[in-house]
Structure 1
Amino acid sequence: MPEVGRGDLTHAEWARLAPLLPGDGLPGGRWSDHRTVINGILFRLRTGAPWRDVPSQYGPWKTVYERHRRWSADGTWDKILRSLLAHADAEDRIDWSMVGIDSTSCRAHQHAAGARNDAPAHPHRADEGLGRSRGGLTSKIHLVGEGGRRSLTFLITPGQWGDAPQLIPVLERLSVPRLATGRPRTCPAHLSGDKAYSSRRNRRYLRRRQIRHTIAEPRSQRANRQRRGRRGGRPVGFDKAIYRRRNEVERTINALKNFSAVATRYDKRAYVFHCTVDLATIRLWLRP
């Protein structure tokens, strides 16, 4: 067995990941060096180093870079993550009783700016997920996380976009396939979120999908509702004990941003950065 370096896939993690990878893995085949190259991609994910500075022990840097870019473009990383989630669900490792929604901003490195506007369109956002906010050029990750500090789904937007309008698009992306027959799992039992997600539209959507929720109500919304009397509707239900579990999604974000290439965006193209976050999520799900 190859020696495992710091940050590389362990033998147990590789045994879980290997069956999900493309190609037959035969000697001399196109993808025969999966493990070495993926460990090189993980090195860059963990350190945020330029691709040219990936150590030679992982093979030529261009091979490492091209593998990550190609698998980002053709959806391979997305498929691997979906398969991992399906296995985790079958092993009852996903806590569907409570999920949290939150967002985090990622400062864009100067190398992430300047992607060509006339480049071919891609299924991900055409605006490259970059926007100007107080921190300069930033991207924002909106995610739904479960109690084990791992993400179930996420969405990349420009950094100045608000949180409330993204609740529905993020939840619409939540779809965990089943290994056996049956529809994918899409509905958690309960959702928690901070006051940034409080809106009538979001609450109507959650009620329609029969998802119980604990979302803090801002003072301004509470005052407006009380001022309108009966027309303002009933008070919003709020359970402080349940709301304390919102720290779980914050810890999920902290776990993701331990990877330097997620905490700071170095990728020019939105679809590549999306799959960099995919890879960080895969890394967390591979751990016991």
Structure 2
Amino acid sequence: MQHRPGIAFIGAGRLAQSLAPALAAAGWPVLAVGSRRNESALALAARLPDCQALPMAQAVATAELVFITTPDDAIAGTVAALPWRRGQMVLHCSGATALDALDAARAAGALVGGFHPLQIFSDPETARALLAGTSVAIEAEAGLQALLHRLAHDIGMKPFALPPGSRAAYHAAANLAASFLLSMLDEACQVWAAAGLPAEQALEALLPLSRGTLAAAQQRGLAGALSGPISRGDAAVVAGHLQALQAMGPAHAAFYRELSRRQLLLAAQAGRLSAAQQAALARLIDD
């Protein structure tokens, strides 16, 4: 059996509350948890076999592999304040933060890397259940890559290598696919209410459409899942939408136009529209 290094978590928030139990359940020894809030460290350590809540410096000293799971803006300061040793392995779990936030550990001879699960952690128990099948972005020095890929596979995650220098664009893509969906739903709820429908019913009524669309995208890809008037070339319906939204305020119509331009590209990829239909819709959207 391949060696599994002893692990410590520095930071006991929602990410640690999901990831640490998943690692322990997969047989990776989580030995210590350290946090500025000792009660958080105690609560997490109590859920893990043979794990201690320790002051952060002591937690680091117990482990070969250390996960930094503090808020992003605290990573560099936390790492700079802790004692590191040659050969130790130190990771942060931020999508947007560059690895130079771990420079203090690297300067002491540690190997450093990033391990960013592409999942939301609003609720740790729900997130833990979703880890299996979730992708995880790994950026690490050569001596650490294989271990992190093995760790990811052991908890059912799908690892992929993150190219150096790509973090900002990668993280923007992740946010567009996650929290920005809420912006889209907020716009839909606003339009629903402006149409005179009960605002309290909007989300309940609209969410099944969102779930169905995401399920179709998973099965058939983005272009294959496209539905609605643009996918059918129905310019009259699109014109009606624009007229109604413009009456509610130009910002609503502008938002719809921008999204419609992207939908038209997807419809073209799907090969559903004739050249004449595409041209007519493009003129309508840009008018």
TMscore range, shorter length:
under 0.3
Give the structure-2-normalised TM-score: 0.28
- Which structure is higher in helix share? 2
Q: Which of structures 1 and 2 has the bigger CA Rg?
A: 2
Q: Specify which structure has the bigger relative contact order, considering alpha-carbon pairs within 8 angstroms and separated by 6 or more residues.
A: 1
The TM-score, its normalising length taken from structure 1, stands at 0.28
